[in-house]
Amino acid sequence: MDKTVILLIDFIGHDILAGEYVKNLRYSTLQSILQEPHDKDKNIVVSIGSSCWDPKLKEMKTMAIHDKWKWLEIVNDKADVETIEKQVKEKLNFHMNNTDTRILIGGCNTSGCVLKSKLSSAKYFSKKYNTTILLPMCAEYQAHGINDIEKNMRAFARIFKYAKKEKLDINVAEFDDLMTY
C-alpha cells in the first residue's frame, strides 16, 4: 500500500478506567509513528469523536503539523466511511481508494468502537480498504478483567471471533508489524 490513513477513534476513551501503562503505550505508539520520516502526500491522521477534545492528542497534533503531517479532526462521531473519504478529500486534498490506501486504526474501546460499534469502525473500513487494528494504540474498557492485560486479551479474542464470524478481513498488528503490511 502506498498511502496510509491513521484513524484515531475516541482516542481519549474512558481515562479513569485504564492503567497508566496502557494510556502511555497508546500515546507513545502514536508518537513513534509520527516521528518516522514520511511522505506528506501519502500519510495522514484523522481523529474522530472524543479524540478531538483530548488535550494530549491536541498537543501531538500541533507537533505533527509542525513536522508537515496532514491531520483532520472530525467531531461527528457518527461519521461513516463515505463521509470521512469526502472530508479527507475536501479538507486535506487526500484521495483515498481501495487499491493503494490502507487504514491503520487505534482508539478506545478495542472490541467496541474500534472494531464494530461506530460507522467509522474497522468493520466498515475493512469492506473497502486494507484495514489494520494496531493493538498498542488501543485500549479496552468494556471487557471485564482485573487489569488492562486481561481486558486487552479479551478484546483481542473478541476481534478474532467477530472477524471470523462476519468474514471480515481485518489485520491485527503490533508496532513492529507495521512495515510488513
Instruction: Give the model confidence (pLDDT) of 22-36 as tens digits.
Output: 888 999 999 999 998
Beta-bridged to residue 70, according to DSSP, are 44
Contact 92, 64 (CB under 8 A): no
Mean pLDDT, range 101-119, rounded to an integer: 95
**pLDDT at residue 71 in the model:** 96
pLDDT at 180 over 60: no
Confidence bin at 76 (pLDDT 50/70/90): very high
* Residue 22 or residue 75, greater confidence: 75
Instruction: Give the model confidence (pLDDT) of 31-58 as tens digits.
Output: 999 998 788 789 999 999 877 788 899 9
Confidence bin at 181 (pLDDT 50/70/90): very low
**pLDDT at residue 16 in the model:** 72
Q: List all residues 6 or more positions away from 10 whose beta carbon is below 8 Å from its beta carbon.
A: 48, 49, 50, 51, 77, 107, 108, 109, 113, 118
Mean pLDDT, range 119-143, rounded to an integer: 94
Q: CATH 1.10.3470: does it fit domain 16-180?
A: no
Mean pLDDT of the chain: 91
pLDDT at 66 over 90: yes
* Residue 67 or residue 38, greater confidence: 67
pLDDT at 168 over 60: yes
Mean pLDDT, range 173-179, rounded to an integer: 76
Domain-by-domain residue ranges, the chain? 16-180
**pLDDT at residue 1 in the model:** 66
pLDDT at 179 over 60: no
**Burial level of 78, CB count in 10 A (0-12/13-18/19+)?**
exposed
